[in-house]
Amino acid sequence: MKTNYEIRYAAHPEDAKHYDTTRLRRDFLIENLFVENEVNMVYSMYDRMVVGGAMPTDEKLLLMAIDPLKATHFLTRREIGIYNVGQGEGIVSVDGKEYRLAFKEALYLGSGDRDVYFSSADPKKPAKFYFNSLTAHRNYPDRKITKADAVVAHMGSLEGSNDRNINKMIVNQVLPTCQLQMGMTELAPGSVWNTMPAHVHSRRMEAYFYFEIPEDHAICHFMGEVEETRHIWMKGDQAVLSPEWSIHSAAATHNYTFIWGMGGENLDYGDQDFSLITDLK
């Protein structure tokens, strides 16, 4: 197995106004999450969130304590939320205890010195584990979460091109966490817009992971300040970092699904400062 990581530093909004396409993609886009028998991570200075992916085929992949953590185990001072976004069943082993995750099922693991391994039930149909991790001040119990456990909010309409279900899965209405909040939004066929009207929440940052996008289609992620927006064109199975000062919205050439993960000082999902669509520039 192989573990790769990189560090991404935080940007001031005044500086980000001057970034060109290359710089925007380098600082915020995470392109290569899934490589066979590798664990790939980005250690972000936005609330110290780690965004990563693991794709085991014929090997068990250890969730290693990368050097920036300065810890004996990855979860020593961290909590983590894991989703299986691959078509094959995945297995997460935590000190020998196995959790089996089907497509779109999630797992929350609390902090503590434990060995975590990723594997696939069938190497010919590998699982893809997407994860977000944040610092944790205490341990909360591990728990598997399915869509049946989620708090579901239906929003938008087909007429508005944003008919979608927001599945709140790793949130404080479902289970206790220190600061991690994650969920999965599924757009209906014919709908392409998410998180519109746009909003910001300076109390926390966010990461978006887009998937279920056909290979010949793309998604355009919008970021930046309300009066100084920018965009990043993305493909499926890619993630993007969203600073606390930035909007985070998207439109695609096809309907899609995305996983949102949040970290910061506020666990209230509804804590958002909305902007009018007509105010965007």
**Given its phi and psi angles, is residue 123 left (phi above 0), alpha (psi -120 to 50 degrees) or beta?**
alpha
Is the pLDDT reported for residue 271 higher than 80?
no
Q: Which H/E stretch holds residue 79?
A: strand 78-84
What does the pLDDT look like over 183-200, one tens digit per residue?
Answer: 999 999 999 999 888 877
- The pLDDT value recorded for residue 270 is 67
Quick one: pLDDT band at residue 83, thresholds 50, 70, 90?
A: very high
Q: What is the CA radius of gyration of the chain?
A: 18
What does the pLDDT look like over 206-254, one tens digit per residue?
Answer: 999 999 999 999 999 999 998 999 999 999 999 999 999 999 999 999 9
In this prediction the pTM is 0.96
Instruction: Report CA dihedral (160, 163, 168, 169) to the nearest 10 degrees.
Output: -150
Is the pLDDT reported for residue 277 higher than 80?
no
What does the pLDDT look like over 106-132, one tens digit per residue?
Answer: 999 999 999 999 999 999 999 999 999
> In this prediction, what percent of the chain has a pLDDT beyond 70?
99
138-147 burial, b if ≥16 CB within 10 A, otherwise e?
eebebbebee
Tokens standing for residue 93: 């082993």
What does the pLDDT look like over 39-80, one tens digit per residue?
Answer: 999 999 999 999 999 999 999 999 999 999 999 999 999 999
183, 174 in Cβ contact below 8 A? no
Hey, which CATH number is domain 2-279, 3.30.365.10, 2.60.260.20, 3.40.462.10, 2.60.120.10? 2.60.120.10
What does the pLDDT look like over 23-37, one tens digit per residue?
Answer: 999 999 999 999 999
- The pLDDT value recorded for residue 278 is 82
Contacts of residues 200-203 at CB distance under 8 Å and 24 or more positions apart, as own/partner, are 200/226, 200/244, 200/245, 200/246, 200/247, 200/272, 200/273, 200/275, 201/244, 201/262, 201/264, 201/266, 201/271, 201/272, 201/273, 202/244, 202/245, 202/273, 203/244, 203/264, 203/265, 203/266, 203/271
Query: Longest C-alpha distance within the chain, in Å?
Result: 53
157-188 burial, b if ≥16 CB within 10 A, otherwise e?
eeeebbbbbbbbbbbeebbebbbbbbbbbbbe
Domain boundary assignment for the chain: 2-279
